[in-house]
Structure 1
């Protein structure tokens, strides 16, 4: 099945529970038929092998490859494990052979594998020989059908795929996105500081616009420090989407405080004459400038200044206005 056919509008489909139905698996490649009964028997054996479901010890399966979920060990895994205890594993996972003998690499079904590791026993698995591109596409599409990833989970998955060197077409097919859709996710994730998403979590229900607004704040405030301080005050069971809102609110408040002009503390200077005697006190505050001459220390000067302070102040004002007018 071609990659383009595997990428059909998967995000518009409602998520399916473990017990509802099995996702269709990629069809095995068709081999050329051999003549006679030997060829027919060979084809039959290949078809049976390709479509059989094996019981595999979970310890034989390596959880490698790119992760498309931020949270794997959470309450939903416990709920899935309980469902499997009651009803059995209704939907197989998919694995591919490892380079090591009797070992496999997970393609999709990480949540089911984690749940079965809790319940104990073997895991039902379809074994396929897939290259990296086909494995990635199968992983992205099947996992998206099980539980729709959040916007930021898709963004992180895209970033990891790009850093791993996957081609744009493969990335688009894996997530069922257009080129513009991939770009929209990438623009946001590239603006967010490292570690922030891991602190907040998948934040289901928080979309591109909200994550974009938070990313825009990164140029003004330290989002990681704010997130650590904010989340430390929240209960451990706070939903991820609520964590996002708390971090966004705290970051917005911090930015608003930073946009305001800092309050100038009162600066007081003692003015002395050439002999070092105190003459007056100059106080520069946020909203006023005050010159204070103590009559007790300088009675005669205080009297002289009192008689001339208005004229002197007007003279200084005219001097300032003339200097400003001449541009000096």
Structure 2
């Protein structure tokens, strides 16, 4: 079904009406007019129209955690300079002269900031076809994060969509859908919205955070942790900070006499640098390569020498012989 959404074959007018061995002239004229009418309808259905954004309703299931953010402003500025390069898709509403969004919510939000009409493809789709079109187009244009896909799956299931439709919408297997759902069921919705989409954070990391939910108030810890971060902190760094704080809280509750702590290390501007984990067995410094790739390379080259230097300083201070 998903492969035929955007390329539905035109109606065959010659097959629609049975041929007559000797058609009368009025019948032939009527058939020509009817064929022309159908052709015009088909052309109109597949053409790009200019529509007033006020006529378009932002209904349907949300597939993004963040719709109003800096990226919308950037997209609006690009459209202001270069025009709308890619049309959105809408489908007719039950109300006259109104439409329902299928995909292109970010583009529609940006054009509402810029002003003017939005270029849109108008297609008549049922709910299943509309959902599949929405999911497939978003996967191609801007890959949703793991947690965004998980929320989308949860909303689709709660709305009563069949498993096959959900799988087609996101291009996932049945097991893939199950993997997303298992994690999302363990996480408070408020926690997810505090952290955001967290691109680059996968199933295992979200699953590890979800595992803390039975031993700590994740929403409370997340709120306190994120409040200490700069306002422009990327969502993935918020996740790292929240995870470290939750891990520290859980370990502290499990063994109050333990020296186990996990500290988030930030620079003077408050940007995430890494984490320092200390317990009775080891001291570990963790620098995430995806957050600071250049610093990670620099640190890797010097880590061994730096550790030896610190050991020599400790030995000299304590007068320990070789």
TM value normalised by structure 1: 0.71
Cross-structure match for 2:11: 31
* Bigger radius of gyration among the two: 1
Residues 210-289 of structure 1 aligned to structure 2 (within 5 Å): 210-261=205-256
Q: Distance in 1 between matches of 2:117 and 2:9?
A: 27
* Matched ranges for 1:1-328 at <5 A: 2-3=1-2, 5=3, 26-28=6-8, 30-33=10-13, 34=16, 36-261=31-256
Contact 1:57 / 1:121 at 8 angstroms: preserved in 2?
yes
Greater RCO, CA 8 A, separation 6+? 1
Give the whole-Å Cα distance in 2 for the aligned partners of 1:112 and 1:193.
29
Secondary structure in 2 aligned to 1:171? Answer: helix
Secondary structure of 1:96's aligned partner: strand
Structure 1 contact 28–50 (Cα < 8 Å) conserved:
no
User: Does the 8 Å CA contact 1:93/1:113 hold for their aligned counterparts?
Assistant: yes
> Does the CA contact (< 8 Å) of 2:89 and 2:121 recur in 1?
yes
How far apart, in 2, do the equivalents of 1:201 and 1:261 lie? 31
**Unaligned regions of 5+ residues in structure 2, if any?**
18-30, 259-322
Deviation for aligned residue 1:29:
5.4
Give the match for residue 289 of structure 1.
none
**Take 1:193 and 1:47, find their aligned partners in 2: how far apart are those partners?**
47
Q: CA deviation at 1:113?
A: 0.2
Deviation at 1:262, TM superposition (A): 6.2
Mapped contact 2:46–2:123 kept (Cα < 8 A) = no
Root mean square deviation of aligned Cα: 1.6
Gapped runs of 5+ residues in structure 1?
7-24, 264-328
Aligned residue pairs, count: 243
Distance 1:124 1:157 in 2: 26
Contact 2:48 2:122 in 1 (8 A): yes
Q: Aligned partners of 1:39, 1:59: CA distance in 2, in Å?
A: 34
What TM-score, normalized by structure 2, do the two folds share? 0.73
- How many angstroms apart in 2 are the aligned matches of 1:176 and 1:106? 21
Q: Which ranges of 4 or more aligned residues in structure 1 deviate by more than 6 Å?
A: none
* Kept in 2: contact 1:113–1:123 (CA 8 A): yes
